[in-house]
Amino acid sequence: MVEFIDVMKRYPNGTVALKGINLKINKGDFAFIVGTSGSGKSTLLKLLMKEETVTEGEVIVNGYQLSTLVPKQIPYLRRGMGMVFQDFRLLPNKTVYENVAFAMEITECLPREIRRQVPMSLALVGLSRKANAYPHQLSGGEQQRVAIARSLVNNPALLIADEPTGNLDPENSWEIVKLLSEVNQRGTTVIVATHEKSIVDAMKKRVIAIDKGKIIRDQQKGLYGDED
């Protein structure tokens, strides 16, 4: 599903954010990417989404070799992956329903499909009754659930979450992590970058630890670890 082969990423200012990255994440896996701030987690996810391009090596996602992907193909890549961010990234002037529907509209889905799929996605995250609310009327945890509903509405094979609980209190963080775990149990591959030790330790999932741009540990049913 996801493969990094000898990846090095250097930003234009000379910062080497990742080096010597070899990594395979199989279909149906749930993996945490852990590490302190600045270790390279976001860069790894940006390479996956083709928001950034590798300096050396190759990233393969869903059968796409990202280094050779032309801009025209990027929407096809992104259609196969849901993305969730720390700051939710909802559209403030659209309702919950419209935020989720928008993800389908931009991929030119049929209105009939949208009317069927959006309520299903909202039901999955337990927010059917908030369909007509605006983001500012929701708690942080609810906003993140909307973002997850939106990320799933096109039935992606892969869900990528960058610090999804970073703006949430512990209780809401747990709700979000449980939800991501349910999504994984339904067959979606899930990759979560986080520096929240308590969550990682409790989940006993695969842990890929990054430090200063290198993978220092890759462990099934792992713990956050105390390297840092």
Residues near ligand ADP (CB under 6 A) are: 11, 13, 15, 17, 35, 37-43, 137-142
Name the residue with the smallest CB distance to ligand ADP.
139
Please report how close the Cβ of residue 221 comes to ligand ADP at its closest, in angstroms. Answer: 23
Please report how close the Cβ of residue 20 comes to ligand ADP at its closest, in angstroms. Answer: 15
CB nearer to ligand ADP: give 104 or 148. Answer: 148
CB nearer to ligand ADP: give 114 or 150. Answer: 150
In this structure, the chain runs to a length of: 228
Please report how close the Cβ of residue 38 comes to ligand ADP at its closest, in angstroms. Answer: 4
Q: How far apart are CA 91 and CA 60, in angstroms?
A: 30
CB nearer to ligand ADP: give 104 or 210. Answer: 210
Q: How many CB atoms lie within 10 A of CB 29?
A: 17
Nearest to 224 by CA among 205, 206, 197, 204: 197
Torsion sign (Cα): 175, 177, 180, 182 = negative
Where do runs of H (alpha helix) occur along 25-158?
A: 41-49, 74-79, 96-105, 111-124, 140-152
Nearest to 150 by CA among 221, 197, 82: 82
Q: How far apart are CA 188 and CA 159, in angstroms?
A: 7
Instruction: Name the phi and psi angles at 225, rounded to 5.
Output: 90, 165
Please report how close the Cβ of residue 141 comes to ligand ADP at its closest, in angstroms. Answer: 6
CB nearer to ligand ADP: give 13 or 93. Answer: 13
Please report how close the Cβ of residue 32 comes to ligand ADP at its closest, in angstroms. Answer: 13
CB nearer to ligand ADP: give 104 or 127. Answer: 127
